[in-house]
Structure 1
């Protein structure tokens, strides 16, 4: 079947899809990792992360309502800058998306190690049996995603209600059972300074948790009423996620025994540390809550893994529909599912488990890759505002102060990318260089050159990626594990100036007459007929 995707997604299904991505393994491990990095100031880390993602959510709210296309994260750069930029960004998006489901499968196995020993080593790395268990989970995620999208969203909706109820119940139960206000000043509010806060944002699971909002973005092409539903789903899910994670971090810090903090936040330790909330519940004699949390340690990450598989196949589908790759990726099953993309996501996800066999190792790469791709939305919005003025091409949802908001979103995203550290930057740069070399060879062999590529719209991506890589490696040792050539202040100044320069260059490099974008925005004005409700 080669028809279009079915517009079966309603506003509730879209909100729950994004919340299903936001509330996964991040809530199980994020508060502990953030507290170890930043102490009580981890609350600031969640606020910074939420602010960054909310800015991006506003940007996407305008773009996805004006251009409701499947695989929006790569379709939007194609509309504003052409096929080559979309192709390059598809590599980055693919890296982030393909590692999301493995991260959730790894989280399930890691928590399971508390009651089924031998799945994970003391360092958090999967054993052979743990690896096989993770592969089995990935197969289950893939199988569920062969169903029609309305059925997948119904399953996700049921799971997400559980996933929201358990964290909320945990926050209330721990708050009522034990709360030590003095924990918030133990060893200082920010024992590791500003660097600890920034590190928590980028590497502890904060940004990784929030990036789940993308599910509604990727399902934009299947929304029944994109003009009405997408802004509500995208922005609403981020706000709910921010409030939930702030509450969980607060009660986690307050519920800790002061003895667990005797050696400082960086050496925080207590029985059940690999399952922090369940461990706390057990120590406090709340066995009923511990049982629920161990059940949720399978349900929440698995639910997020399932919904993550809705994005990856649609990325393959979008790449095929946009002409970025050849092959059967644009084909749909009888249920309207990009079935080849589902199979490819499973195979490649298993491959990614090999070099990234721990939860924290995976989420650093996922977070950086996700923000690299999301930052492109700011570039597209600013460019399309220039080439398609709102006076002539009104948007269904028009973001107030769009240029400064998009610019700030781009700058903040770049900061967090650099904060993930030199090692993560090296991994991503090596990956991009290898894929770029293979792509160049392929184009040379198939077309005899590169004249057919829209290089004018994409040339700036090379200095952009190279600049981020260099700044991460030149950054302070205590923040980016770089050489220390740049202090915290110097890094911040250079990064702001660099980001502004890239934005200006990128906006000027946009397609002078984005004909496809103009056609797409005209289509988005048409009322979508009502379909079966989710």
Structure 2
């Protein structure tokens, strides 16, 4: 017996379906607004300290790897256009246990971004003289004061209110802020390059790569990958797209292209604008010890104080806009897991504005808690990058498995050379996880274990007769994969004990990743189970049918 659509009615969880109100530009700006956050304000300085001029290679490498992952997400998002996609694609391919693992990592990473962006906003506000003289939001060590916690909470409440009022309002506000966030970095590039371009800086302080390949790789999780994260936010909100099969893939691809070009130009402008004397002996303090606003400092140094003022204003707008979008993404992820019944179904409740209200409130509460154990921007970046790497890794392996098990479905966009690019994307995500360092990796492992405690408690609350199977056989690859990555991190050269020889550690990650990838594809659910899972979720989301020509 077919399941009735819940469009416009109450679902089993007492909720209505989401409103499809966001067009291409809204989706594109949601992804672009997520990519351009505190990363552009802080990333160039952090990566230059670690890798010197070779930080440019870090950006090229990261953008290439993430482009493959973005294209994999683009195919999945266009083919399965429902809310919280990064949690649901693995669910379709491997069942509830894998879907929960992917969703938990995705949600953990997304729910921490909003407090990270608030941290960045407060850090820049503290650099504004008149504000700092009246309100102290940071301790000397960079942690939040009581006043900082209060202001941070107010910002989080604003994000929550806007999200609860409706996706159309959130998308409209984000589109405006995304335009501003794109224009200011472009203006910064033009001004700095026109007023100060010291070509000698690209070989100063020990040469182009003063710390060798290790510096290039170490810079990736220190700010480069973090800066480029966010392209998938259009996919998280695909359940609210007007024409998802057409717009989702295009939005992801355009946002990723614009973000990548912008970050590369910013890094070039930053290095070239530095005072040659500041980097002649090394890259430890290229703009002065303890300086938290590198572009504003450079603008003042080259005689463009007016640009510094604009940068400080944008330093509040840019991270805040990103935090707003990530709260929306986190809410859609917990909503998706509630629909899959791996989190409490109360999270699927939709309010009058047809947004997941309870899930949004949960994102606020957890974001507030994140201020306590991780009270500074840099303290959260490594953990979030590791979580993002795991989240992104699920997409290419799910894509490969779904092409095998659900290959007849209409795919408005297809990842080029998918048989090669999907395994490559899985390898890239695992390399990013390894480079994030063992310190972040083991903490993420503990977070994963905590997630399974939540899953067990959730299932205990479901009557035995209503519990679906976890598809444990299809999940057999997950724990060996995650455990193996943590073990390699422990033995490796990035925060581990360093017993793995240089380059051979990367070979080990690559070989291990390929073995896991192809094992996972073989363990995917049978086609009929995949089709049933997709049909059930699409009915609940009221997904528009494909064009008649594609059926």
**Greater Cα shift, 253-262 or 268-277:** 268-277
SS in 2 for 1:265: coil
SS in 1 for 2:232: helix
Tell whether 2:213 aligns with 1:194. Answer: yes
Partner of 1:68: 81
Partner of 1:295: 313
Rounded Cα–Cα distance in structure 2 between residues aligned with 1:444 and 1:18: 37
Cα contact 1:8–1:224 (8 A) shared by 2: yes
Rounded Cα–Cα distance in structure 2 between residues aligned with 1:365 and 1:310: 20
Rounded Cα–Cα distance in structure 2 between residues aligned with 1:438 and 1:14: 31
Aligned counterparts, 1:287-326, within 5 A: 287-326=305-344
1:284-341 deviations in whole A, cap 9, x for unaligned? 2211101100100100001111111110111121112222222421111111111111
**Greater Cα shift, 435-444 or 509-518:** 435-444
Tell whether 2:518 aligns with 1:501. Answer: no
Rounded Cα–Cα distance in structure 1 between residues aligned with 2:267 and 2:468: 53
Partner of 1:51: 64
1:421-458 deviations in whole A, cap 9, x for unaligned? 01000110111123324534664686789994221111
Cα contact 1:119–1:130 (8 A) shared by 2: yes
Over the residues paired in the alignment, what is the CA RMSD in angstroms? 2.1
Partner of 1:338: 356
Aligned counterparts, 1:322-471, within 5 A: 322-389=340-407, 392-440=408-456, 443=459, 452-471=469-488
Rounded Cα–Cα distance in structure 1 between residues aligned with 2:388 and 2:177: 24
Partner of 1:526: 545
Q: 1:446 to 1:236 in 2, by over 3 A?
A: closer
Aligned counterparts, 1:223-262, within 5 A: 223-262=241-280
Rounded Cα–Cα distance in structure 2 between residues aligned with 1:396 and 1:327: 31
Rounded Cα–Cα distance in structure 2 between residues aligned with 1:18 and 1:393: 26
Rounded Cα–Cα distance in structure 1 between residues aligned with 2:389 and 2:296: 31
Of 151, 155, 158 in structure 2, the residue corresponding to residue 140 of structure 1 is: 158
Q: 1:141 to 1:518 in 2, by over 3 A?
A: closer
Q: 1:448 to 1:17 in 2, by over 3 A?
A: closer
Q: Aligned-pair distance for 1:73?
A: 0.5
Q: Aligned-pair distance for 1:283?
A: 2.1
Rounded Cα–Cα distance in structure 1 between residues aligned with 2:227 and 2:60: 13
Rounded Cα–Cα distance in structure 2 between residues aligned with 1:6 and 1:446: 28
Q: Aligned-pair distance for 1:396?
A: 1.9
Rounded Cα–Cα distance in structure 2 between residues aligned with 1:357 and 1:315: 24
Q: Aligned-pair distance for 1:236?
A: 0.9
1:441-490 deviations in whole A, cap 9, x for unaligned? 664686789994221111211111101111111101xxx11101112222
1:19-77 deviations in whole A, cap 9, x for unaligned? 10011100000011011111111111111111111101111111111111100001111
Rounded Cα–Cα distance in structure 2 between residues aligned with 1:337 and 1:242: 31
SS in 1 for 2:341: coil
Q: Aligned-pair distance for 1:363?
A: 1.4
Partner of 2:297: 279
Partner of 1:492: 506
**Structure 2 length-normalised TM:** 0.91
SS in 1 for 2:229: helix
Corresponding pairs, count: 523
**Structure 1 length-normalised TM:** 0.94
Partner of 1:7: 20
SS in 2 for 1:145: helix
Q: 1:10 to 1:501 in 2, by over 3 A?
A: same
Cα contact 2:75–2:413 (8 A) shared by 1: yes
Cα contact 2:343–2:458 (8 A) shared by 1: no
1:378-415 deviations in whole A, cap 9, x for unaligned? 111111111123xx334222222112111111101100
Rounded Cα–Cα distance in structure 2 between residues aligned with 1:417 and 1:307: 24
Unaligned runs of 5+ in 2: 1-9
Rounded Cα–Cα distance in structure 2 between residues aligned with 1:327 and 1:386: 31
**Greater Cα shift, 380-389 or 33-42:** 380-389
Partner of 2:526: 512
Rounded Cα–Cα distance in structure 2 between residues aligned with 1:309 and 1:445: 27
Aligned counterparts, 1:202-221, within 5 A: 202-203=221-222, 205-221=223-239
Partner of 1:104: 117
Cα contact 2:243–2:544 (8 A) shared by 1: no
SS in 2 for 1:306: helix
SS in 2 for 1:212: coil
